[in-house]
Structure formats: structure tokens, C-alpha cells
Amino acid sequence: MTVESTAPRKPRRSAGTTGTKSTAGKRATARKSPGTEPELVQLLTPEGERVQNAGTAAYDKYVADITPDELRGLYRDMVLTRRFDAEATSLQRQGELGLWASLLGQEAAQIGSGRALRDDDYVFPTYREHGVAWCRGVDPTNLLGMFRGVNNGGWDPNGNNFHLYTIVIGSQTLHATGYAMGVAKDGADSAVIAYFGDGASSQGDVAEAFTFSAVYNAPVVFFCQNNQWAISEPTERQTRVPLYQRAQGFGFPGVRVDGNDVLASLAVTRWALERARNGEGPTLVEAYTYRMGAHTTSDDPTKYRADEEREAWEAKDPILRLRRFLEASNHADEGFFAELEAESEALGRRVREAVRAMPDPDHFAIFEHAYADGHALVDEERAQFAAYQASFADAEGGN
């Protein structure tokens, strides 16, 4: 790769970004795996062993009293989220959805952080936070409307304190910051969490969100899922140092957590939320994870990344890891897994049926919510549209 290290090097560059030609394969192997990242907070190894050391000390207490029931809950959330995600992917293949953005591989980051939240906290997602939505109690079928093309989101954000999916990269980090400023003004002790990706970290809006939240000491957690890719661009195209370090220069702490470790994601997010509630202001959490699938169903990752990379990450699967832990610690038996399997299938069926039953919007929906208080031109155009539509009805009636 051609991204330079911060260490001095000579001789001087010859032609900018042209460097040694590297193949995707070489890149993949050169890349560090999360287990070897020194700065990574990890509580469960890929093998499902509980880690406790100097690096985890600050976070252990946030999961110290976690019950087997809660652990099974986390497992269930991840499994059902993955099942929902797989169903959506296949619904897209069947033409029921126009597009789908899979979260495959990111379940631990999303369920861990999502389960750290209180009901009165507020979530600002990107377009991939299906697992967080699940934790908030958003009906999964609600998420599918925009991907089916029947609406642009449309659920009530205040219903579950889960804001609409935001597609313009980075925008929602400012909304989250503003919302958090409002929380502070209200004297409430809720917290706000803003999700974004490694690619998004480059957007000016995200930096401005860091600035505003720091200056106003807003109770917001910036939760960056570094899934290694922004469509076809590896994280090195966005930064030459680990992303969690970005926060420091804005005056608040950043931490990198193993985003494939649901326990660590839960603990670190709880810590960050506690900071927010305590009036200590913003925190950046970088969840180090991997986008196992394509960027969306429109994408073809074989164009830009090697299979080996994906395979290396498969060994760190977030669900497998917790399953190993549950099994080794006898926190879950065969019955649990079997029941969950059935529940999973039922969920898939329910989603499938709900999507197929989703009606196309009425044509007049075009004009429906352009404005809250109305707009003369919209009224005029709606009337013209009605007359035009009626002309066909007339014509048909006349035949």
C-alpha cells in the first residue's frame, strides 16, 4: 500500500501516491488482525475465552455483574439480527427489495453498543444499524421500507428514540450533537449515540460534530464501526493512524474496542455513556470489525479485495465467539440453541411475509409530507396531478 507511515522516510517521494503495486491479496495478509492490535480492548477472545488484564481493567466493571440470562440475550440478539439480515439479503435477490446493506460481521459491535443504552437515550444511525434498531425495539420490517422503495424511512424516531437512517455520510453526527446539546439544556441525564463508519470519519461534518460536542460538552458517544472498508476503499484511504486517536486532538477520549466482541462493545459503550451522563462530555469509540459481505447488494467486493482477508475475519466471528463462551461456561444448553433456531426461522418468515404484504404507496404520497404547514405550490401541483390522473380514469370510463 501507498499510505505513508508517520516515520520519516528517505529518499523523498517521487510521484505522490504512486507507490509499489500491490495486489489485494498482499494487502490482506499485511494487515493486522484485531487480536494483534495492541490498543484493542477485548474481553472475549475469538476462542471465547474471557480476557482480564491491565488493558481491560477500566472496563471489566461494566460487565462484572452480567448474568447468564443477559449473555444469552446478547447471543439471541446477534443471531436474530443476523437472521433478519440474511432474510433481507435474500428478499433483495428475489426482487422484493431494491437494495440491502448487510451488517453481516458487525453484530457484536451493534448489539453490544445497542444493549448498553437506556430507553431514554437517543440513537442516530447510518443505514446499516439493523442490530441497534433491533435493540431499540424497532420492528425490523420498518427498516425495509426504504430498501423496498416505498418510503424514505418513515418510522417515528421518537417511538423508540431511534432516528431515521441517514444516507448522506456523516450528517447524522451533527444531528446527534445538537440533540445532545438539547438534552443538556433540558438538564436530563440521557445520552446520545451517533453511529458512523470508517469512511465517514473523513467528512467535515464529523469533525464539526467533534468540535461542537467538545466545546459544548455535549453528552454524546461517537460510535465508529471501522469495518475496514468504505465500499472499495480500505481504511488507509481515510487515515494513517488508528481512528480512535482522532478524538484526542478535539479534547475528548477515544478508545478502540474489538467490535467482534459483544462483551467488550457493551462494556466500553457503557463506560462512554456513563461519561456522557456524568457531564464529562463526548467520547469516541472505534469498534474494530469487518464488513463480511458486500457494501450493499449492488456491490461486488471481488473487484477490490481478496478472499483471504474475509476468511481471516471469519475466524473471529462475533456469534461463534459468544457461543463458545456460553458453551464453555455452561450458560446455554442445546435446548436454548434449538429454540433460538426456531425463533430465528419464525422471524425470517415473519419478515418475508411482512415485506411481501407491504403495499405500494398511494400516488398522492408524493405531495403528502413535503411541508408540515402546507405550501401553495404543492397544493397547486397536487390539484393538477389529481386532474391529470382523473383524465385517465375518465378516458378509461369513456371507453
Partner 1 sequence: MTQTESVKNLALAKAINESLRTALEADPKVLVMGEDVGKLGGVFRVTDGLQKDFGESRIIDTPLAESGIVGTAIGLALRGYRPVVEIQFDGFVFPAYDQIVTQLAKMHARALGKVKMPVVVRIPYGGGIGAVEHHSESPEALFAHVAGLKVVSPSNSSDAYWMMQQAIQSDDPVIFFEPKRRYWDKGEVNTEAIPGPLHKAQVVREGTDLTLAAYGPMVKLCREVADAAAEEGRSLEVLDLRSVSPLDFDSIQASVEKTRRLVVVHEAPVFFGSGAEIAARITERCFYHLEAPVLRVGGYHAPYPPARLEEEYLPGLDRVLDAVDRALAY
Ligand X SMILES: Cc1ncc(C[n+]2csc(CCOP(=O)(O)OP(=O)(O)O)c2C)c(N)n1
**Which residue, 128 or 136, is less far from ligand X as judged by CB?**
128
Cα radius of gyration rounded to whole Å, the chain: 23
Q: For residue 282, give every residue at least 6 positions away whose Cβ sits within 8 Å of its Cβ, in sequence order, or none.
A: 177, 180, 210, 213, 214, 217, 218, 219, 220, 221, 222, 247, 252, 276
Position 285 contacts a second copy (CB under 8 A): no
CA nearest to 42, candidates 319, 50, 254: 50
State yes or no: is 130 an active-site residue: no
Choices 110-118, 190-198, 279-287, 341-349; region in contact with Mg ion by CB under 5 A: 190-198
The binding site for ligand X (CB under 6 A) comprises: 126, 128, 167-169, 197-200, 227, 229-231, 291, 295
**Chain centre to alpha carbon of residue 365:** 29
Give CA angle at 284 (228, 176), nearest 5°: 100
Position 197 contacts Mg ion (CB under 5 A): yes
The catalytic position among 27, 304, 324, 331 is 304
3 binds, among partner 1, Mg ion, a second copy, none (CB under 5 to 8 A by kind): a second copy
Mark residue 374 as left, alpha or beta (left: phi above 0; alpha: psi -120 to 50; beta: remaining).
Answer: left
State yes or no: is 295 an active-site residue: yes
Q: For residue 254, give every residue at least 6 positions away whose Cβ sits within 8 Å of its Cβ, in sequence order, or none.
A: 243, 244, 245, 246, 247, 248, 283, 284, 285, 286
Q: How many residues of this chain interact with a second copy, rule: CB under 8 A? A: 54
**Which residue, 33 or 232, is less far from partner 1 as judged by CB?**
232
State yes or no: is 304 an active-site residue: yes
Place of cell 436454548: 336
Q: Which of 142, 227, 269, 344 binds Mg ion (CB under 5 A)?
A: 227
Q: Provide, rounded to whole angstroms, the least separation between the CB of residue 319 and partner 1.
A: 28
**Which residue, 74 or 221, is less far from a second copy as judged by CB?**
221
Distance CA 235, CA 347 (A): 34
Position 34 contacts Mg ion (CB under 5 A): no
**Which residue, 92 or 227, is less far from ligand X as judged by CB?**
227
Show contacts with a second copy in window 265-284 (CB under 8 A): 275, 277-281
Kindly list the catalytic residues. Answer: 291, 295, 304
